[in-house]
Every structure is written in C-alpha cells, then in structure tokens.
Amino acid sequence: MVLQSQQSPSHWESPRFGLCFHASFWQIVSRAEVLLALVGRHHLVPFLQYLRQWEAYANDTLRSREDVDTDAAVPCPQSLNHGLNAHGIATTSSCPWINSETFDADRIPMVIQHARCLCDGCFDPRDGILQRDLTCSPIEINMDVLRKTETRNGYVRWSPTTERVSVGCACQIELMA
C-alpha cells in the first residue's frame, strides 16, 4: 500500500503486491504504527499515540535481551515427566521440546517461537526409558510473514513470504534402507 503525500494520512492506495511506503514516511511513523493504522484508519491519532508508547517499551525490552541462546543449555531429561511436575505437552511428550524465540526486525511478526527437540531418541511411554532406535524430529509448518525490502526509488516494501517454523517434536521410527 502506498501513502500518497498530497492526500490525507488516512487515505491509502493499494498496489498489486505488498505494502509500500516512501522512506521519508518511515522517519515519522514506525512499522507497527503503519500496520495498525491500516487496520484502524478512522482512529489514526489514538493508535499512533498508543503505538509510540508501545514501541518505546518494546525497544527497551529488545535492547535488554542477550544475543546468547539461553535455551541451548537445556539438556534432555533423565526420564519422562509425568505427574505434578508436568508443565504441558512439551515436557510430557515422548519427544520433549522447548520453545525459543527468534527476533528479526525486518520481519512481521518480529518475534517467532520455534520448537527445539531436547533429545535424539524418544521415551517409551510405558516405562519412561529413552529409546535410541527412535528419533525425535521437529514438526514444521509454513508460516506467512511480511519481509521488509528497500527499493531503488526510496520506498520500503513489505512483501508476503513464507517461513518454515517448527511447532513441536514427534517421535519417528528410522527406516532401514
């Protein structure tokens, strides 16, 4: 969508593909403001005020994040986790996993959670012992996202694209060739 500078801020014109704004427009309005402004064009000023506060909070939060993957140190559990200590399907599955976040400022949504399998093998649900002849594999889906690209004429374009995202882990039998 292209914002026409000679028209009112609530008027949007739609090109055939993607979202497009002139670079000078980005100096005034952030990415999140533009997306919500598209949704709530009739309430643009309250959205902009709210989003400026939200963006300041989000930027402070993202600045405080470490670049270290804190989930990398989580080991495979000793046994299958059932009972009072169980915290959802990710820990009670025969193939346990954890969710970790990835951040990309040139993608909407900027933060996506990915599942990471904790074990190579799978736990036998009857006795809770790790079976090495079974393999934990990620379950992946295609997720629609918007990806930022800059054009030659000073525009920023948000184009729809697809990313593979792991949402969990499942046990599978290795096939002999």
**61-73 pLDDT per residue, tens:** 655 554 445 566 7
Identity of residue 144: D
What CA–CA distance (Å, rounded) separates 67 from 73? Answer: 14
Q: Write the CATH number of the domain with boundaries 77-145+160-177.
A: 2.10.90.10
Identify the weakest region by mean pLDDT among 39-48, 113-122, 150-159, 165-174: 39-48
Per-residue confidence (pLDDT) for residue 177, from 0 to 100: 61
For the chain, the domains span 1-64, 77-145+160-177
Separation of alpha carbons 3 and 19, rounded Å: 10
Q: What is the pLDDT of residue 1?
A: 38
pLDDT of 47 higher than 80: no
CA distances from 90 to 14, 30, 68 (A): 42, 36, 22
Are the CB atoms for 156 and 28 separated by under 8 Å?
no
Tokens of 115: 């599942």
In whole angstroms, give the CA distance from residue 20 to residue 156: 6
Portion of the chain with pLDDT greater than 90, in percent: 28
Q: Mean pLDDT across the stretch 149-161?
A: 88
> Which residues have a Cβ under 8 Å from the Cβ of 35 and sit 6 or more positions away?
108
